[in-house]
Amino acid sequence: MELSDLRKTSMEFRRLSSNALRAKYDEGNLHLMRLRHYIEGCEYIQGIIEDEIQGTEIDYKSEFIISDGGWNYFNYPVDHGTHMKAVLDYFYELTEQDRDIRGEARKYRCSSNQWNDIVRNFVEKLIKPLVDFITDRISMDIMTKEQRNNTGTNINQYIDKNYGTANIASGNINSSNEYIINEVERINELVSSLKVSVEESGCKDASVEEFLDDLDTITENVNASEPKMVKIKKALRGIGSFIKNLPTAIKTSQLIITNSEELIEVARKFMENFR
Amino acid sequence: MDLEFSIEGDSEGYVQFECPYCESEFRLMAGEIQNEEEYYHEIFCPYCGLADEVSNFYTREAIEHAKELAMNYMYEELNKAFGGIAKKMNKSKLIKMKWKPLKKINVQEMRTEDSVEDEFECTSCNKHVKVLYCAGKSNVFCSYCGVDI
């Protein structure tokens, strides 16, 4: 499945699941039936479920739903596949026969006596594990696809020896710090260029002073050994609002906007790589 | 009768929320969630991706705070009512009334402290969310549009 299709499936499934988990007593089985139709109509989700429940057997009426004479409760199997099978069988029967969900929900103990709470308590106990399982599997597949699609070049620096007073590690250390050096240089270049552009613009507004202060904050922090990310973020926000309100009549306004936008992007990459 | 209270955000203007499904905590920018131009009826949990009404995402502390304010209001009204009754009854020579005013609960301003969560921006709607870095780097969902960031 393509990455975009996976994302759409994830969104649709989560929307239907949220509606089902928030079901109201007067809506009956409506949202549960919609969720069921979606699961049955989506080959990808069917595949996920089939992989999980393959080879499992459980009689949900006697082994999953336990009745102690008064209240019913769920006996969750240890094996996850068996659990999913039991949930699906019960879920399909509920929606097949269009049983009154209130009647079913009332059999399970709930701390509240409001009908909506009773229905939601039952639905959550029954289908939440299934929803979590499918959502997590879709997310994992999205992560795998994104990893494969990421074909950017990585620069690795190999350091053979580790010097210092505390030699805890031994062997080779791989460090991708060439990115950070390039970003710092670029940030310094952009800040110098922006200062020149602001001077040439001849703008004497008070916001220009704040803009220049923000540029100084960024330069100080990216060149420091322990940059303060909070200060960089605040300065970037200040720069963002400055270019939003910058009058376009100023002769160097376009250059200021372009360089500021690039500065914001490079500074963000610097912060991500610095972690 | 409406009671209002405010929650101070952290140093970057983020306020804490709690998912009603998975009970995970995350933060949203106050200026984005409370926007006069765009009203959000529901939001998505960035961790489990499920949606619910914004009011169901309030933290337990916020709900407790609201309850305490409501209790204080109730105490104030009861004290006014019984105070009035006692004043009238004590004017009589035959019947006297003694009563002890209810003590209000000490309620402090709610504020959000800085924490370890990191800010992530959605590429679809450009809104921000603060979640744990390891979760954000793997897969989280945008609280506003629901897509995975």
Verify whether the Cβ–Cβ distance A142 to B148 is below 8 Å: yes
Q: Diameter of chain B by CA atoms?
A: 78
Verify whether the Cβ–Cβ distance B119 to A233 is below 8 Å: yes
* Cβ(B9)–Cβ(B112) below 8 Å: yes
In chain B, the DSSP E strands lie at 7-8, 14-18, 25-29, 42-44, 51-53, 110-111, 118-121, 128-131
Residues A134 and A14: their CA atoms lie apart, in Å, by 9
Verify whether the Cβ–Cβ distance B148 to A234 is below 8 Å: no
pLDDT of residue A249: 67
B135 touches A: beta carbon within 8 Å: no
ipTM, two decimals: 0.80
The 3-class secondary structure across chain A, one letter per residue, is CCHHHHHHHHHHHHHHHHHHHCCCHHHCCHHHHHHHHHHHHCHHHHHHHHHHHCCCCCCHHHHHEEECCCCEEECCCCCHHHHHHHHHHHHHHHHHCCCCHHHHHCCECCCCCCHHHHHHHHHHHHHHHHHHHHHHHHHHHHHHHHHHHCCCCCCCEEECCCCCCCCCCCCCEEECCHHHHHHHHHHHHHHHHHHHHHHHHCCCCHHHHHHHHHHHHHHHHHCCCCCCHHHHHHHHHHHHHHHHCCCCCCCCHHHHHHHHHHHHHHHHHHHHHHC
**In the structure encoding, which two tokens stand for residue B39, read together?**
């009203």
How close, in Å, is residue A11 to chain B by CA atoms?
7
| Residue B102 per-residue DSSP state | P
The strand pair at B110-111 and B7-8 is best described as parallel
Enumerate residues 6+ apart whose C-beta is below 8 A from A38.
Answer: A12, A13, A16, A45
| CA geometry: angle B8, B130, B137, nearest 5 deg | 170
Only one residue has tokens 């105070």, namely B83
Which residues does A contribute to its contact with B (CB < 8 Å)? 7, 10-11, 14-15, 17-18, 21-22, 124, 128, 131-132, 135, 139, 142-143, 230, 233-234, 275
Mutate to test the interface with B, among A5, A13, A18, A264 (most CBs of B within 10 A): A18
CATH architecture of A153-272: Up-down Bundle (1.20)
B136 touches A: beta carbon within 8 Å: no
Per-residue model confidence as pLDDT tens for chain A (275 residues): 888 899 999 999 999 999 999 988 888 789 999 999 999 999 999 999 999 999 999 999 999 999 987 899 999 999 999 999 999 999 999 888 767 888 889 999 999 989 999 999 999 999 999 999 999 999 999 888 887 766 554 444 545 544 444 444 455 555 545 555 678 888 888 898 888 888 888 777 778 888 888 899 999 888 888 888 888 888 888 888 888 778 766 767 888 888 888 888 888 888 877 75
A248, A257, B144, A129: CA torsion to nearest 10: 170
Select the residue of B11, B50, B148 nearest A17 (Cβ to Cβ): B50
* Cβ(B24)–Cβ(B45) below 8 Å: yes
Task: Delimit the domains of chain A by residue range.
Answer: 3-144, 153-272
Verify whether the Cβ–Cβ distance A7 to B49 is below 8 Å: no
| Residue B55 per-residue DSSP state | G
* Cβ(A67)–Cβ(A109) below 8 Å: no
State the Rg of chain B over Cα.
22
**In the structure encoding, which two tokens stand for residue A23, read together?**
């079901």
How close, in Å, is residue B38 to chain A by CA atoms?
19
Ordered alpha helix ranges (H), B25-113? 30-33, 60-89
B52 touches A: beta carbon within 8 Å: yes
pLDDT of residue B68: 93
Select the residue of B12, B49, B139 nearest A14 (Cβ to Cβ): B49
pLDDT of residue A158: 47
How close, in Å, is residue B132 to chain A by CA atoms?
13
**In the structure encoding, which two tokens stand for residue B27, read together?**
């933060």
Enumerate residues 6+ apart whose C-beta is below 8 A from B52.
Answer: A18, A22, B20, B21, B42, B43, B45
Report chain B (149 residues): mean pLDDT per 10 consecutive residues. Answer: 86 92 93 84 93 94 93 94 91 87 88 86 90 80 90
Total residue length of chain B: 149
Taking the CA of residue A188 as centre, how many other CA atoms within 13 Å lie in the half-sphere pointing to its CB? 11
Residues B137 and A148: their CA atoms lie apart, in Å, by 15
Q: pTM of the entire structure? A: 0.66
